[in-house]
Each structure stands twice: as C-alpha cells, then as structure tokens.
C-alpha cells in the first residue's frame, strides 16, 4: 500500500506542478492561488495542502527539481573540468538539460520577481566551483578565489539567461567557447 500511496503522491505533485506552470503562462505568480492550481489539476484543495503550504513552496519545489537535475550533471562531470581545464564538460550537459526543460526554465526566468532560479543557479556554481578553481588557476589569495567564483557564477548565469532570452540563437558549442574564453581571460588577471 505504501508504494501505491507514494505513486499517488508523486502523481498529485506532478499534476499540481503542471497545472501551476500552465497558470504561470496565463497569470502573474502573485495572482495564482492554491484554489486555481487544484481546480486546474482537478484535485481538491486538501490535497494541495498535504504537499505544499502555499504557491511559493510549490514554485520552490519546481525550482529545486531543476537545480537537482543540474547538480546531478555537475556531480557526473566535475572531475572532467579539472582534467580538461575547461567548463565544457559540465556546461554542455547543463545547457542540454536546460534546453530539455526550456518551457519550465523560461517561465521561471520570466517570473524572476517570484522565482529564485537564477540565485539557485548561481549558488550551484559557487558551491561546486571552489575545488576546480583552486586546482586549475592555483589562486592562493582567498579573497581572489571568492571574487573569481562570484564573477563566474554571475557571468555564466547571465550568459545562460541571455542565451535563453535570445531563444538559443547561438550554437551551444560557441557559447561554451565564449564562457571558457571569459573565464580563462579573467583568471589571467592578477592584482
């Protein structure tokens, strides 16, 4: 029975997330209520409150799923970054992943007043970038490492958002080459 309940819970969450994303195409985040979501999903409101306290928590859950998928890709390819002294082994799969989830990511980016997806993406870069930066660029000054990581996180996040806003008009490989060039040139700057 537990397995069936888990399957039902996953199904209910998926229905609510899909309904929420559909509503986000039609309305601003602040205009969407739990009632709207459950009516669209054809579920009762009590089901909503079994899973989420409010629509902000639902939105955060969607963001966290996207970031968890990206983190899995980082985990799978992080060693290659140091081996190749390039961000390409991680950035390529992440761009593919974002493209695969483009509708959801696009909605989250469009609703940046409510969504924290960019902050979460930047935090993903900051939390995973420390070891490769230390190994590849051999910085010794802790402040310089933190400034450089901040530069990378905001820069890569901004480039990905721009790529999305421009409907991925640049080939992925070219974007990755730009990112590598920017990181490489910034790493060469010494105070």
Average pLDDT over residues 41-61: 96
Cβ-based neighbour number of residue 52 at 10 Å: 20
Same domain, 175 and 83: yes
| 11 shares its domain with 47 | yes
For the entire predicted model, the pTM comes to 0.86
Cα end-to-end distance, the chain, whole Å: 63
Confidence label for 33 from pLDDT (cuts 50, 70 and 90): very high
Residues 116 and 171 in one domain: yes
Task: Answer yes or no: do 43 and 66 share one domain.
Answer: no
Give residue 1's pLDDT: 47
| Overall number of domains in the chain | 2
CATH number, position 42: 1.10.10
Q: What is the mean pLDDT of the chain?
A: 88
% of residues, the chain, pLDDT over 90: 49
- H-only helix segments in the chain: 2-26, 34-41, 45-51, 55-84, 88-100, 102-110, 117-137, 142-165, 172-187
Question: Same domain, yes or no, for 84 and 145?
Answer: yes
Does 115 lie in the same domain as 89? yes
Same domain, 95 and 38: no
Check whether 144 has a pLDDT greater than 80.
yes
Q: Are residues 15 and 81 in the same domain?
A: no
Domain housing 24: 1-53
């Amino acid at each position: 029975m537990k397995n069936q309940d888990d399957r039902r819970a996953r199904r209910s969450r998926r229905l609510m997330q899909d309904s929420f994303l559909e509503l986000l195409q039609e309305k601003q985040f602040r205009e969407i209520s739990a009632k709207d979501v459950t009516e669209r999903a054809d579920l009762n409101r009590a089901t909503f409150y079994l899973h989420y306290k409010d629509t902000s928590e639902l939105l955060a859950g969607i963001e966290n799923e996207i970031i968890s998928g990206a983190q899995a890709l980082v985990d799978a390819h992080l060693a290659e970054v140091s081996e190749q002294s390039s961000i390409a082994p991680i950035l390529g799969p992440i761009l593919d992943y974002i493209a695969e989830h483009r509708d959801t990511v696009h909605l989250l980016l469009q609703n940046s007043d409510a969504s924290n997806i960019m902050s979460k993406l930047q935090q993903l870069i900051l939390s995973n970038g420390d070891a490769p930066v230390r190994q590849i660029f051999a910085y010794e000054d802790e402040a310089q490492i933190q400034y450089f990581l901040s530069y990378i996180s905001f820069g890569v996040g901004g480039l990905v958002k721009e790529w999305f806003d421009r409907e991925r008009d640049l080939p992925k490989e070219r974007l990755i080459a730009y990112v590598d060039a920017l990181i490489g040139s910034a790493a060469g700057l010494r105070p």
